[in-house]
Copies of this chain bind each other. A is one copy, B any other.
Amino acid sequence: MTAAGERKDGERNLLLTLAFDGSAFHGSAVQKNAPTVQGALQQALRQIFGEAPALKCASRTDAGVHARTFCVSFRTGSAIPCERLVEALNAYLPEAAAVRSCREVEADFHARYSCKGKRYCYRILNSRIRDPFLLSTTFRVPYPLDWERMDRAAKAFLGTHDFSAFCSAGGSVEDHRRTVFAAAVRKAGELIAFETAGDGFLYNMVRIMAGTLIEIGAGKRPEEDILRALEAGDRRLAGFTAPACGLRLEEIYY
């Protein structure tokens, strides 16, 4: 056994960066009898190392949520060079996941606890007609959305707030105060993207933020509803939880 932060002789602490198509997994966290990102990674590491190290994941993502960047750290006594480990992992992982990089980090680095923040993107296809190429990576809204109104409204998320109104029941954390650094809505063709970065996000927080913005963009709610929901801390004052398929974890800050 090693105490936290202590380095055993010859043991390295490695940080993996992955990307995955969430439609192929039942979320990131390991589950029995369902394919998960963590489960697939454990199995691949077991095939390479002979045993699976304990994995520390930067976040838990729900079934269907995608990641362009997902970070995992673990300790290993194996001397296999980082570049070779990337190749070996990609040979064993299912195609819907890929290890993009591997590097050695300080002994006390922890993919979850060392995380300073994250950036997410929620993508909406605003079209009456589906796009066969964007079925699993966008949420389609067939009625018109006013993206500029959504962008204005999104500014209410900026700063430090109690985000209880933007959190589903079932989360394990007690402190619901989070700081949002960025919140903007942009449009390119029929795609509307809500991008947000913050020091941390509660259970379903980005999806509820996106759902509320969609209702504002459709004219079903006044722009001021976000401020009102934040102040009251009441989940019922915020909008619906937008589907997982539109959400992608883009970046993790350390």
Number of copies: 2
Interface flag for A21 (CB, 8 Å): yes
- Whether B95 and A131, one on each chain, are in contact in the complex, defined by CB atoms closer than 8 angstroms, is no
- Whether A86 and B129, one on each chain, are in contact in the complex, defined by CB atoms closer than 8 angstroms, is yes
- Whether A130 and B95, one on each chain, are in contact in the complex, defined by CB atoms closer than 8 angstroms, is yes
In the assembled complex, how far is the CB of residue A207 from the closest CB belonging to chain B, in whole angstroms? 19
> Could you say which residues of chain B place their CB within 8 Å of the CB of A143?
none
> Could you say which residues of chain B place their CB within 8 Å of the CB of A133?
19, 21, 66, 68, 137
Residues 7-65 of A contacting B (Cβ, < 8 Å) = 19-21, 24
Interface size bracket, A side: 20 to 34
- Assembled-state Cα–Cα distance A51/B130 (Å): 25
A19 nearest in chain B by CB position: B132
In the assembled complex, how far is the CB of residue A193 from the closest CB belonging to chain B, in whole angstroms? 15
Interface flag for A186 (CB, 8 Å): no
Q: Which of A24, A100, A133, A135 has the most CB of B within 10 A?
A: A133
Interface flag for A179 (CB, 8 Å): no
Interface flag for A76 (CB, 8 Å): no
Interface flag for A105 (CB, 8 Å): no
Residues 217-241 of A contacting B (Cβ, < 8 Å) = none
Interface flag for A98 (CB, 8 Å): yes
- Assembled-state Cα–Cα distance A86/B99 (Å): 41
Interface flag for A97 (CB, 8 Å): yes
- Whether A99 and B129, one on each chain, are in contact in the complex, defined by CB atoms closer than 8 angstroms, is yes
A-B contact pairs, 7 of them (CB 8 A): A19-B132, A24-B132, A96-B132, A97-B132, A98-B129, A98-B131, A99-B129
* Shortest beta-carbon contacts, A-B, top 9: A21-B132, A98-B130, A96-B132, A20-B132, A98-B129, A19-B132, A98-B132, A95-B135, A21-B133
